[in-house]
Homo-oligomer: A and B are copies of this chain.
Amino acid sequence: MLMSVDTDLMRALGDPLRLRIVTLLARETLCTTHLIAETGARQTNLSNHLRVLREAGVVETEPCGRFTYYRLRPEALAGLAEGFGELAELARATRADDRKRACP
């Protein structure tokens, strides 16, 4: 089964701060206040990045009083891992067989 990699998901994860957020959330569910403390980013900036991650399906929110917890959605990352794993496997086979299209 071939999974294609989602460009929007890649774009969402192709930013240093967002990738930092994701690695933090992989270990612990956190709310914005924690993320501000951990990353040193401004609240507005962080809120924007979290919106991007939310819209890309990378994270989901859980309100807790006046706080908002952010939690990773493992399926999104697992899907990426699978997609790139299949591409890597294909590329390995292509290279092993030296499969190349002839010069025109």
Q: Point out residues on A near B: beta carbons under 8 Å.
A: 4-5, 7, 10-11, 13-16, 19, 22-23, 25-31, 33-34, 64-65, 67, 69, 71-75, 77-78, 80-85, 87-92, 94-95, 98-101, 103-104
Expressed in whole angstroms, the Cα–Cα distance for A72 and B90 within the complex equals: 10
B99 adjacent to A74 (CB under 8 Å):
no
- Contact (Cβ within 8 A) B74 A28: no
- Name which residue of chain B comes closest to A2, CB basis: B23
Identical chains bound together, number: 2
Other-chain residue from B75, B83, B95 in contact with A71 (beta carbon distance below 8 A): B95
- What residues of B have a CB within 8 angstroms of the CB of A87 in the complex? 22-23, 26, 72, 77
Q: Which residues of B contact A81 (CB under 8 A)?
A: 80-85, 88
